[in-house]
Amino acid sequence: MVRPGKIHFDSFGQKFGATDPFLTLQCHNKIARDFCFLGSSSVLATTGHSVDNKNVSLWDTLLPEAKACTQSYKVHDQGGGGGGYSIAFSKRHQLVVSGGRHGEIAIFDVRQSRLLHTLHAHEMHVRSLYMDDEAGFFCSGAGEGDMKVWSLSTFEQLCSFENLQARNRFQLQTFDRIPVKAYGVAQISASKDSLYTCEPSGFVRARKKGAALLSL
């Protein structure tokens, strides 16, 4: 991949631009919200919002641009700014996991190219997903401020962490910052014995893994 020559943030720190991209794909004709690589640097999955309702797509970037989209799925409801919000890939299980506007999580089998299961996981949009192939679980973080942990083999909920951040929180307007609606679990990561979440207000929180996760 070509290294970007320059990266610049705007004055509000919300957007940035980069020069010399390796490849640009028109993935979704409304908005593309997240992507992940599928075990290689050339195959990836995207999720977003499209007028044809195809909000999860698989891509092979080695193919010509007109044929690069190898599969698309109509899985997330697109009403009210819907579609897909987050996506992650399990290399060990060959699963693509996508989170939607109304708290649903869709699980796809990449080898069979079909939808395996849908979880009604959260009350609000699934803003972030984290995959831990080695431990055999994945985490979902949502707009209501909760994080839940799910088994990759049974798709059952293993544990949950509630109220990591209050709902509908607004950052205060200052001379150099425009008001931004900031709520939900924005990103999730993990170490050997802890789970970490971050939120738009700037806090990073750590939670110890419970017995249900440490025994996996």
Q: Any idea what the CATH number is for the domain that residue 169 is in?
A: 2.40.10
- Whether residues 115 and 133 share a domain: the answer is no
Q: Decide if 183 is inside a domain.
A: yes
3-state helix, strand, coil in the chain (%, to 5): 5, 45, 50
Quote the percentage of the chain above a pLDDT of 90.
32
Q: Decide if 175 is inside a domain.
A: yes
Residues 39-94: tens digit of each pLDDT: 888 888 988 887 777 789 898 988 888 888 888 888 877 666 678 899 999 999 99
pLDDT of 171 strictly over 60: no
- Whether residues 86 and 161 share a domain: the answer is no
3-state SS, residue 74: coil
pLDDT of 139 strictly over 90: yes
Q: Decide if 187 is inside a domain.
A: yes
The string of DSSP letters for 196-214 reads: EEE-TTS-EEEEE--HHHH
Q: Decide if 8 is inside a domain.
A: no
Q: What is the pLDDT of residue 203?
A: 82
Q: Decide if 107 is inside a domain.
A: yes
Across the chain, mean pLDDT equals 81
User: Where does a domain end: 120, 142, 168?
Assistant: 120
Read off the CATH number of the domain in which 87 is found.
2.40.10.480
pLDDT of 178 strictly over 50: no
Task: Provide the domain count of the chain.
Answer: 2
Joined tokens for residue 17: 């631009």
pTM score, whole prediction: 0.79
Q: Decide if 209 is inside a domain.
A: yes
Task: Give me the domain span that covers residue 163.
Answer: 127-216
Q: Do 153 and 136 form a contact (C-beta atoms < 8 A)?
A: yes
Give the whole-angstrom CA distance, residue 197 versus residue 184.
Answer: 10
Residue with tokens 């995207």: 46
Alpha carbon of 209 to those of 124, 139, 191, 215: distances in Å?
Answer: 24, 12, 9, 10
Q: What is the pLDDT of residue 76?
A: 79
Higher pLDDT, 5 or 32: 32
Q: What is the pLDDT of residue 109?
A: 94
Give the whole-angstrom CA distance, residue 156 versus residue 149.
Answer: 9
- Whether residues 114 and 173 share a domain: the answer is no
Give the whole-angstrom CA distance, residue 94 versus residue 5.
Answer: 34
Q: Decide if 18 is inside a domain.
A: no
Residues 82-126: tens digit of each pLDDT: 788 999 999 999 999 999 988 999 999 999 988 999 999 999 999
